[in-house]
Structure 1
């Protein structure tokens, strides 16, 4: 697995996280395309913030093999980045509409 593939998987997991939240909680839904876009940006934002702690793709592949623990943490951070990005965006939109 390469660094680029790990990054793409992370972005995809963030997108899935945002769409799953919107599926179960309709009040946070921005329709499929909106959820997907927010999930992608939320995932990227959270991975960039937490990459200094060692969850970035370069650190995961530093030894040449996939570090499963760091990879799992990266996926969790991406998932919650998509979820929290959607929640934050929906709250921001509702405040702006008032």
Structure 2
């Protein structure tokens, strides 16, 4: 498994996180396409920000073998990144609509 494949799986998990959050909390939904876009960017943002702590895709495969504990942490942060980004974007949208 290469670092590129891990990155793509992380983005997919971020999309799942955003869409799961939208299904669970209907008031935070931005539609399927909006949720998917927010999931992609939320996942990338969180992995790039927090991945410097040692669970970015390159560190996961650095030794030639997959470090599954780091992979699990990466996927968890990616899921939470999609979910949190969806909530924050929806709140930002509501604030901007109030000011209009």
In structure 1, the partner of 2:39 is: 39
Corresponding pairs, count: 98
Deviations 1:72-96 (A, max 9, x none): 0000000000000000000000000
Shift of 1:24: 1.1
Distance 2:87 2:51 in 1: 22
Distance 1:25 1:88 in 2: 13
Runs of 5+ in structure 1 lacking a partner? none
Question: With structure 1 as the length reference, what TM-score do the two structures score?
Answer: 0.99
In structure 1, the partner of 2:15 is: 15
What are the equivalent positions in structure 2 for 1:1-98 lying under 5 Å apart?
Answer: 1-98=1-98
Shift of 1:51: 1.5
Distance 1:14 1:82 in 2: 4
Moved over 3 A (4+): none
Question: With structure 2 as the length reference, what TM-score do the two structures score?
Answer: 0.97
Query: RMSD of the alignment, in Å?
Result: 0.4
